[in-house]
């Protein structure tokens, strides 16, 4: 789930909202993140430092692996006629089966256990009764809270055959994420991540959404560290060993300008052009980067796309 920088405008979108069912229950024995106990699910100020301890990083490997497993299962549900609420039901059950809590559920009153963003929905789509139709593209964003930390990952999936421009968008967005991961290493300024993303997006004629950014993640769902997906040399914070954060570029076929549905969550492109997003949770290592949101045997849902995902990079 991306971190919002500012509140966009409001207007209805061509992917019309369906009926949102009730929140699914979580057994009492499942540990909840602290914000679930707060009024309105407000997380309050970020508490964690940008750098994780070795114990926390090991826990994040477990949470990341669980999220990666669940995202693979969720992606297998995508097909014409399947509702996004049915995907939420599967994700919810798989999260609980691993003894984890679905991080989006109850976060600032978000009513579901996963985000499902279809076509022009940039991020934070709420699962509902709308069935997918042939040619739709959908981002599924899974975050789990396990052993006191969060693991956050997302990928694009296609409902049946999609048009060539949508395939180009999805492929380009994945390549942008890969390029961004490839520059991560100790001492690299945060701005280089955005430069790498723009280096793929701009030549491909793809817009880069600025209103939502990657973020520090660990014991907090959203830490203070922000990872813009565009280049701004003022974002000069140097990466350091042990930092954990998401990179989750959102690219568009048209204008990257953002508007918001009246539900307060669903962000869409102002011109209703299609958009895509891929996301990993990462940790900066002594000589490069490690992707935390892969399964124990090194798989992730990104592998279902045309281009492979890098596992790690030496410095």
pLDDT digits (tens, 9 = 90+) for 172-215: 999 999 999 999 999 999 999 999 999 999 999 999 999 999 99
**50-309 is a CATH 3.40.640.10 domain:** no
Residue 229 neighbours by CB under 8 Å, 6+ apart:
176, 180, 193, 194, 197, 208, 209, 210, 213, 214, 247, 248, 249, 250
In the numeric block, the tokens 């895509």 are attached to 276
Banded model confidence at residue 3, pLDDT cuts 50, 70, 90: low
Q: What pLDDT is stored for residue 314 in this prediction? A: 37
pLDDT digits (tens, 9 = 90+) for 217-230: 999 999 999 999 99
Of residues 15 and 315, the one with the higher pLDDT is 15
Q: What pLDDT is stored for residue 151 in this prediction? A: 98
pLDDT digits (tens, 9 = 90+) for 79-123: 999 999 999 999 999 999 999 999 999 999 999 999 999 999 999
Banded model confidence at residue 46, pLDDT cuts 50, 70, 90: confident
Q: What pLDDT is stored for residue 6 in this prediction? A: 42
Banded model confidence at residue 166, pLDDT cuts 50, 70, 90: very high
- The answer on pLDDT for 1 being more than 90 is no
- The answer on pLDDT for 5 being more than 70 is no
Banded model confidence at residue 311, pLDDT cuts 50, 70, 90: very low
Parse the chain into domains and list their residue ranges.
Answer: 50-309
DSSP one-letter string for 52-82: --HHHHHHHHHHHHHHHHHHHHHHTT--TT-
- The answer on pLDDT for 312 being more than 50 is no
What is the biggest distance separating any 2 CA atoms in the chain, rounded to whole angstroms? 51
pLDDT digits (tens, 9 = 90+) for 236-290: 999 999 999 999 999 999 999 999 999 999 999 999 999 999 999 999 999 999 9
- The answer on pLDDT for 51 being more than 60 is yes
Q: What pLDDT is stored for residue 14 in this prediction? A: 78
Mean pLDDT along residues 7-12: 38
Residue 97 neighbours by CB under 8 Å, 6+ apart:
none
Closest to 117 measured CA to CA, from 11, 246, 230, 17:
17
Question: Distance (Å, rounded) from C-alpha 123 to C-alpha 190?
Answer: 22
Banded model confidence at residue 305, pLDDT cuts 50, 70, 90: low
Q: What pLDDT is stored for residue 304 in this prediction? A: 82
Q: What pLDDT is stored for residue 144 in this prediction? A: 98
pTM score above 0.85: yes
pLDDT, mean over the chain: 93
Banded model confidence at residue 12, pLDDT cuts 50, 70, 90: very low
- The answer on pLDDT for 309 being more than 80 is no
Cα→Cα distances 89→59, 74, 102, 129, Å: 25, 10, 11, 12
């Amino acid at each position: 789930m991306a971190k919002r920088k500012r509140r966009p405008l409001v207007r209805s979108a061509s992917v019309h909202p369906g009926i949102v069912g009730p929140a699914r229950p979580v057994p009492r024995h499942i540990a909840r993140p602290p914000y679930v106990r707060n009024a309105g699910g407000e997380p309050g100020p970020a508490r964690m430092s940008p750098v994780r301890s070795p114990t926390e990083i090991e826990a994040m490997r477990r949470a990341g692996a669980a999220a990666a497993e669940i995202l693979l299962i969720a992606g297998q549900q995508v097909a014409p006629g399947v509702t996004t609420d049915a995907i939420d039901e599967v994700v919810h059950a798989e999260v609980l089966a691993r003894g984890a809590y679905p991080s989006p559920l109850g976060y600032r009153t978000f009513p579901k256990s996963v985000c499902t963003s279809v076509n022009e929905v940039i991020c934070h789509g709420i699962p509902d009764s709308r069935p997918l139709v042939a040619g739709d593209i959908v981002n599924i964003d899974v975050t789990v809270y396990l052993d006191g930390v969060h693991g956050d990952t997302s990928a694009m999936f296609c409902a049946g055959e999609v048009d060539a421009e949508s395939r180009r968008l999805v492929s380009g967005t994945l390549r942008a994420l890969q390029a961004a991961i490839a520059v991560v290493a100790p001492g690299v300024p945060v701005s280089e991540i955005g430069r790498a993303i723009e280096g793929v997006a701009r030549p491909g004629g793809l817009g880069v959404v600025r209103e939502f950014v990657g973020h520090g993640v660990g014991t907090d769902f959203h830490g203070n560290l922000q990872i813009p997906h565009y280049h701004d040399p003022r974002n000069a914070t140097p990466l350091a060993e042990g930092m954990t954060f998401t990179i989750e570029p959102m690219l568009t076929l048209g204008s990257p300008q953002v508007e918001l549905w009246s539900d307060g969550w669903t962000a869409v492109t102002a011109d209703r052009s299609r958009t895509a997003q891929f996301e990993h949770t990462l940790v900066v290592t002594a000589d490069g980067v490690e992707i935390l949101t892969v399964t124990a045997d090194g798989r992730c849902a990104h592998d279902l796309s045309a281009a492979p995902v890098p596992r790690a990079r030496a410095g």
